[in-house]
């Protein structure tokens, strides 16, 4: 797929084609993780087009509409969360919140004085979702380029700071994300099981 530019503005930056990486083994879970592009409203000349905007939105909606999908809303901590369209989309498609889960990233980029807004979200005072929010701290671009910074160690060190000292351990870090996501997956699997069995039973009766 070629990126659009000023000489070929009709070329698309995004594609519906899927890059698939599959692992298998006796200890592997039967689970698919799909990383979709973020939704955006404005095209960038020479980079994205209006067709890209439509394609990405339809792609994301296609996965979100699947009743067996877990919607992991990943949003930077340093943006106005009220302006994030993905939250409204998730509420429309999952009004009970049974398969919606929130993740706040980049807590290290939160401006001084804005920490309380992040705390309100994590503690469910604003933008509450049924399964709550988890805060994770990934490596920044410079840290990735340096190659010497341990991701988990950096996150643990950040967790000792002022911003996160009031957040329960169950809401911070990659370990907390894994645990809580597993709970959501298990709950959704139990809820979806009858939907999987029903077509199979109908097929069996037809024979």
**Tokens read off for 196:** 């999987």
The DSSP secondary structure of 19-73, one letter per residue, reads -------TT--S-----PPPP-SS--TTT--HHHHHHHHHHHHHHHT-TT--EEE
CATH class of 70-206: alpha beta
User: Which of 78, 69, 93, 84 has its CA nearest to residue 181?
Assistant: 69
Say how far apart CA 130 and CA 102 lie, in whole Å.
9
pLDDT of residue 203: 45
- Give residue 198's pLDDT: 52
How far does CA 23 lie from the centroid of its chain? 21
Q: What is the pLDDT of residue 65?
A: 92
Residue pair 106/114 in contact by the 8 Å Cβ criterion: no
pLDDT of residue 205: 44
Q: pLDDT tens across 36-52, in order?
A: 888 888 777 877 888 88
Predicted local distance difference test score (pLDDT) of residue 106: 92
Query: Which pLDDT does position 33 carry in this prediction?
Result: 81
Give the CB-side neighbour count of residue 62, counting CA atoms within 13 A. 11
pLDDT of residue 26: 84
Q: Which positions of the chain have pLDDT values less than 70?
A: 1-12, 161-168, 193-207
Q: Which residues are CB-contacts of 138 (< 8 A; sequence separation ≥ 6)? A: 105, 106, 151, 155
> Do strands 100-105 and 71-76 pair parallel, antiparallel, or not at all (unpaired)?
parallel
Which pLDDT score is estimated for 167?
62
23: alpha, beta or left? (left if phi > 0; alpha if psi -120 to 50): beta
pTM for the model stands at 0.78
């Amino acid at each position: 797929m070629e990126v659009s530019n000023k000489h070929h503005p009709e070329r698309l930056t995004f594609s519906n084609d899927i890059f698939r990486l599959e692992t298998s083994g006796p200890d592997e879970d039967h689970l698919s993780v799909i990383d979709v592009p973020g939704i955006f409203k404005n095209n960038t000349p020479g980079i994205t087009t209006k067709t890209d905007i439509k394609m990405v939105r339809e792609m994301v909606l296609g996965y979100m509409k699947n009743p067996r999908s877990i919607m992991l809303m990943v949003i930077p901590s340093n943006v106005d969360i009220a302006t994030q369209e993905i939250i409204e989309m998730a509420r429309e498609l999952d009004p009970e919140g049974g398969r919606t889960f929130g993740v706040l990233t980049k807590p290290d980029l939160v401006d001084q004085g804005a920490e309380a807004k992040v705390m309100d979200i994590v503690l469910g005072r604003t933008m509450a979702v049924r399964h709550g929010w988890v805060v994770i701290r990934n490596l920044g671009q410079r840290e990735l380029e340096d190659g010497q910074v341990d991701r988990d160690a950096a996150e643990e060190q950040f967790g000792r700071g002022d911003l996160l000292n009031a957040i329960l351990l169950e809401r911070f870090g990659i370990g907390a994300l894994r645990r809580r996501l597993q709970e959501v997956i298990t709950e959704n699997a139990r809820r979806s099981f009858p939907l999987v069995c029903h077509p199979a039973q109908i097929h069996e009766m037809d024979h």
